[in-house]
Structure 1
Amino acid sequence: MAQIVIVGGGPGGYEAALVAAQLDAQVTIVDSDGLGGSAVLTDCVPSKTLIATAEVMTEVAEAAELGVEFRAADGGATGLHVDLGRVNERVKRLAAEQSADITRKVEKEGVRVVRARGRLEGDGVVVAESEDGTVERLHADAVLVATGARPRVLDSAQPDGERILTWEQVYDLDEAPEHVIVVGSGVTGAEFASAYLALGVPVSLVSSRDRVLPGEDADAAEVLEEVLTRRGMNVLSRSRMASVSRDGDTVTVTLTDGRTVEGSHCVLALGSIPNTAGLGLEEVGVTLDDGGFIETDGVSRTANRSIYAAGDCTGVAMLASVAAMQGRIAMWHFLGDSVKPLDLGQVSSNIFTSPEIATVGCSQKEVDEGTIHAVGVTLPLSGNPRAKMQGIRDGFVKLFCRPGTGIVVGGVVVGPRASELIHPIALAVTVSLTVDELSHAFTVYPSVSGSLAEAARRLRRV
């Protein structure tokens, strides 16, 4: 029976454990924080739970267009209020419950979970050191490293856990901030800025680039920035942070051009650092890149062929779905099951702002630069009948296909629940459907998804 030791219990680790157990391996997970990792305990599950409340606030705030009014008992107008303390209690409770569910699931499959910090000590040996000092040496035929990443901080912007916060620390707030300054306009920064704005908190977003979400579809980013600005966010473009300081209840962000922004709280969204230091990786022949991320091939192998890696510690794509697939692929490969290398061209992703931005396959930038030979069409949701009924004014559906064959190679959806609407495009990309096949599938009328079929019909004529 193959012996598998997994260091780290996030999506890459626990999904790998489930696959290995299914294939009759003896599996041990060494984890110090709780199964689910940051995805469940401090990142994806908590942030999207917070965002779920923000979504309700957005829908209610815009309900007047649909004829819905909120009045007090005496007939006067009444305002909306969010109890952030209760919201964060729910956030942490759901995260803990999800972690417990994962633990029960893997243990039911016969996986052993060791609460300890793991490190490699020569080929095939993992040292697990518990908080009480207990040390256990685990021998393995293969090791999977899935230790994740942590928020990046700077010497000039040190979090204090009270008013200067990383995205992992915001769930300890008992009351809504008076004014949040979010530093960083990538995915994490945009999500938190959008969420706090929807919760009724004044927000300033410090962006070092000329637009929010500089790495995403430019048309989508333009829609999002226009919406956020219209709703009252102060977006500071081309503004690089120099430092963050605190004086009592006031936080000051100083920019490199000398300007300052004051608020009650600051959320730092400056990227991630891989948790790879002190694991003994380089000593056993595992190669790290300049950023400290583990280098892997398409089946999650490192330079040491008996050591695999999955998740954020590889820097391949900071997505829980990718981490899980990397972990599964690693175990399928090592244990001799059928496996295909990871294909990032089939990965669908979503940014949980309001509106949401979902993407899959090739990008507009790749098409414009000629990296991928494709044609595209964009349909604004403002022309969709169901969107009109729901009061949706912002967003669009964009679809790309190969000229000649019509094979769907990518798409973008911007709008409410874009994370759900992207799935038909993801299926089309994965199995190489043509726009003919996509357009011939029935859609419900009226439905927002009808715009996907309409985009496919229009591409048939391109």
Structure 2
Amino acid sequence: MSLSFEHAQSVAIIGGGPGGYEAALAAAQLGAEVTLVERAGVGGAAVITDVVPSKSLIATADAAVAIAASGDLGVQLFARGADGKPLTPEIAINLSAVNKRLLSLARQQSDDMRSSLVEAGVRIVSGHGRLEGRDAVVVSTGPGGTDFDRIEADTLVVSVGASPRELPSAKPDGDRILTWTQLYDMKSLPEHLIVVGSGVTGAEFASAYMNLGAKVTLVSSRDQVLPGEDPDAAAVLEKVFKRGGMTLLSKARADSVVRTDAGVLVTLADGRTVEGSHCLLAVGSIPNTRGIGLEEAGVELTDSGHIRVNRVARTSVPNIYAAGDCTTFVPLASVAAMQGRTAIFHALGDVVIPLEQRRITANIFTAPEIATVGLQEKDIAAGAVNGVVHKLPLSANPRAKMIGIKDGFVKIIARAGSGTIIGGVIVGPRASDMIYPIAIAVERRLTVDQLSRVFAVYPSLSGSITDAVRAMHLVERTEGEEN
């Protein structure tokens, strides 16, 4: 169903990642004339070189772990040698085949997204786009920037994403010193992968390559992995990493990374050195906002180059919106997609629900996964909210026992007095799926008693959510407490 306009509204979008893609679909659905400019392919870096291939790699690592751990469930791999005696089979990882598959999946996803846009009536222009003033986009479509296409539009959306941050003393070469976009060219499993950076990206790849069978050293400048995340979740992950044989170097800032005859040499700020076969640099990202006409159009940027946006993804220029990792909002693909839709709804006069930090659900695809939503325990400690926390280990769950889960927990955060659920953390397999009912509770402001009345399948991992909120039944209630 389209809105009724005096004249057809026109929308031009730079960048076809999750934010640009969803903005294009929403605009087409509302009856606007839509042009999407994308240089690499629909889906952008998120689909082609980031989220889709990395999570596909992690899925392969999870499969390897499942096979290796099946002996605990009584399932044993068996082979008989020529002499009739049993052999001990080994799990082999064909990294070249793995990478070929995941890049194929990424391209297939990109093609499917492109088909959806074409079917919706979106015009797609391949090339490098930049703003020309406040009402047009100029696209360089020819080799060397020789051909141009000018697109005028009532509403402009910038969704250009971000690129891996590089260090002057650790230049990626695409062979031994790598960013996360360059990992998929490796033909074989690295003998010893040194991961510099213990944020989400570093932790995910360290977890994946460890479970694929590589020796991994994780260099963290902080005192724990995943700084800023739930400390209990980080502690579980560190325990799993150490049990798997990973070397964790905390409070160890990398000073330089150089090539050697045998591989790489990482020098730490305190003078220590670490030698390995490959090094992954996971030290953050830089928004792709330089040289695309933002400042000339009057769009306000931060010192880091991120586009300042409000809760409806609007920039300092009324008809220019921005979505995704290039903005000052949370850098998640799901958030970029929501920003893209919200921007279009606002620009074209549809119903808009401004984005709120408390509604955002995030997941870290390590093994085990770490999923979070809403306010966290640190917010209570900081005095931002008067809350109550209850944590239940997954090891107490009957379904977890059946499938051999030993690590993880469910943590519920509720407002003291009303029992309103304001946040949660889940650590465990498929935490990204399990967090959803807690996210609904946060969104709809359900209380622990209301969520406890929802039937959970027995036995199921989600039953731990029910058990946790039931345990919070006696959270003191006070008349007049906000609900």
Q: TM-score range by the shorter chain?
A: over 0.9
Q: Which whole-Å deviations, capped at 9, do the CAs of 1:215-234 have from their partners, x for residues lacking one?
A: 10000000000110011000
Q: Which amino acid in the other structure matches residue 387 of structure 1?
A: A
| More displaced 10-residue stretch of structure 1: 126-135 or 322-331 | 126-135
1:55 to 57, 62, 67: 62
Q: Following TM superposition, by how much is the alpha carbon of 1:332 offset from its aligned partner in structure 2, in angstroms? A: 0.2
What is aligned with 1:35?
42
In structure 2, the partner of 1:70 is 77
Question: Which one of 136, 143, 146 corresponds to residue 125 of structure 1?
Answer: 136
Matched residue, 1:421: 434
- Cα deviation, 1:17-55, whole Å, max 9, x if unaligned, reads 000000000000011010101110011000000000000
Matching residue of 1:346: 359
Query: What is residue 114 of structure 1 aligned with on the other side?
Result: 125
User: CA RMSD for the aligned pairs?
Assistant: 0.8
Q: Greater shift after overlay, 92-101 or 120-129?
A: 120-129
Runs of 4 or more consecutive aligned structure 1 residues displaced over 2 Å after TM superposition:
none
Give the Cα separation in 1 of the matches to 2:382 and 2:403. 37
Partner amino acid, structure 2, of 1:347: I
Question: Which residue in the other structure is 2:241 paired with?
Answer: 228
| Aligned match of 1:359 | 372
How far apart in 1 are the matches of 2:318 and 2:456? Answer: 48
Aligned counterpart, 2:383? 370
Q: For residues 80 and 228 of structure 2, what CA distance do their matches in structure 1 show?
A: 48
SS where residue 244 of structure 1 aligns? strand
Correspondence list, 1:143-182, <5 A: 143-182=156-195
User: In structure 1, how many angstroms separate the alpha carbons of the residues matched to 2:150 and 2:321?
Assistant: 19
Aligned to 2:219: 206
Q: Is the 8 A contact 2:142 2:148 kept in 1?
A: no
Letter in 2 for 1:36: G
**Contiguous gaps of at least 5 residues in structure 1:** none
Is the 2:309–2:328 Cα contact (8 Å) retained in structure 1?
Answer: no
Letter in 2 for 1:84: L
My pick for the range that moved more, 78-87 or 59-68, is 59-68
Q: Which residue of 2 aligns with 1:99?
A: 110
1:278-321 deviation line (CA, Å, top 9, x unaligned): 01101111000011000001111100111000000003111100
Extract unaligned runs of 5+ from structure 2: 1-7, 476-483
Deviation at 1:86, TM superposition (A): 0.3
- Separation of aligned partners in 2, 1:458 and 1:392: 22
Q: Which residue among 20, 25, 30 is the counterpart of 1:18?
A: 25
Give me the whole-angstrom Cα distance separating, in 2, the residues matched to 1:52 and 1:339: 36
Give the drift of 1:131: 3.4
User: What is the CA-CA distance between 1:249 and the residue it aligns to?
Assistant: 3.3
TM-score normalised per structure 1: 0.99
Instruction: Specify which of 8, 27, 31 is matched with residue 15 of structure 2.
Output: 8
Matches within 5 A, 1:300-339: 300-339=313-352
Separation in 2 of the partners of 1:142 and 1:441?
A: 44
Q: Distance in 2 between matches of 1:271 and 1:384?
A: 37
Shift of 1:447: 0.8
**1:170-218 deviation digits (Å, cap 9, x = unpaired):** 0111111110000000000000000000000000000000000011000
Q: 2:328, 2:252 → 1: CA distance? A: 26
Structure 1 equivalent of residue 3 of structure 2: none
Query: Is the partner of 1:297 in helix, strand or coil?
Result: coil
Given candidates 137, 143, 146, the residue that maps to 2:150 is: 137
Shift of residue 65, structure 1, vs aligned partner: 1.1
- With normalisation by structure 2, the TM-score equals 0.95
1:240 aligns with 2:253: yes
The one-letter amino acid of 1:267's match is L
Distance 1:448 1:276 in 2: 43
What is the correspondence of 1:260-271 to structure 2 with a 5 Å cutoff? Answer: 260-271=273-284
Percentage identity across aligned positions?
56
Q: Is 1:435 aligned to 2:442, yes or no?
A: no
Q: Which amino acid aligns with 2:270?
A: D
- d(CA) in 1 for partners of 2:252 and 2:63? 31
Instruction: Measure the CA separation in 2 of the matches of 1:170 and 1:202.
Output: 16
Letter paired with 2:345:
W
Task: Select 1:280's aligned residue among 264, 287, 293.
Answer: 293
- Residue 124 of structure 1 aligns to which amino acid in structure 2? D
Q: 2: CA distance between counterparts of 1:276 and 1:404?
A: 46
> Which residue number corresponds to residue 457 of structure 1?
470
Q: Give distance in 2, aligned partners of 1:73 and 1:312.
A: 53
What is the Cα deviation at residue 461 of structure 1?
Answer: 1.5
Paired positions, count = 462
Query: Residue by residue, what CA displacement relative to the aligned partner does 1:54-108 show, whole Å, maximum 9, x if unpaired?
Result: 0011111211111111122331111111100000000100000000000010011
Amino acid at match of 1:92: L
Whether 1:87 and 2:98 are equivalent positions in the alignment is: yes
Cα distance in 2 for partners of 1:44, 1:245 equals 28
- CA shift, 1:247, in A, is 1.5
Instruction: State the distance in 1 between where 2:332 and 2:262 align.
Output: 35
Task: Please say if residues 164 and 286 of structure 2, whose CA atoms lie closer than 8 Å, have aligned partners that are also in contact.
Answer: yes
Per-residue deviation, 1:364? 1.1
CA shift, 1:248, in A, is 2.7
Q: Which amino acid is 1:330 matched to?
A: A
Letter aligned with residue 176 of structure 1? L
2:39 maps to amino acid:
S
**3-state SS in 2 of match to 1:326:** helix
